[in-house]
Amino acid sequence: MFKMKNMVLIIVVLFISGCSDSSNPFSNIEDGTSNSYTFIACEGSFLDSNNNGSLYILNESGVIEVLEGLGDGIQSVEVYQNQLYVLINNSQKILIYDIS
C-alpha cells in the first residue's frame, strides 16, 4: 500500500510540474549550474494518432521539466554537441533543442 501511494504521488508531481510554453525547455530549469541531465522519452500510444508522446528532463538537482504533446511515437532521443535531437516516428518530424 505504501509503495502504491508513493507511485501515485510521483505521478501526480510529474503532472503538476507540467510543461511551459517556452520554446527552450532548458531556459526555466531553476539550477543553471547543472550540466548533467537525464532524458526519459515516453513513446505514447502505439498506432494511435493522438499526439501524446512526451519527454521528461531531470537535472542532477532533481528538478523535472515535462514536454508533452511532441507527437505520436517518440522513437529516439540523442544528445550531440549541446543539442538534443528527438525523433518522432509517426509524426515524421525531428525536434532539435539547444541544451547549453
Check residue 8 and report its DSSP letter: H
Handedness of CA 23, 50, 45, 78 (dihedral sign): negative
Taking residues 66-91, what's their average pLDDT? 82
Total count of domains within the chain: 1
Does some domain include residue 48?
yes
> What pLDDT, on a 0 to 100 scale, did the predictor assign at position 34?
53
Asked whether residue 63 is assigned to any structural domain, the reply reads: yes
Question: Domain of 50?
Answer: 2-24+34-98
Which pLDDT value is given to residue 23?
Answer: 58
Could you tell me the three cell numbers for 42? Answer: 515516453
What is the model's pTM? 0.57
Q: What is the pLDDT of residues 84-93, one digit of tens each?
A: 898 887 778 8
Rg of the Cα atoms in the chain = 14
Q: Encode pLDDT of 8-47 as tens digits.
A: 877 777 666 655 555 555 555 554 555 678 888 888 776 6
Q: Is 44 within the bounds of a domain?
A: yes
Residue 29 lies in a domain: no
In a domain, 9, yes or no: yes
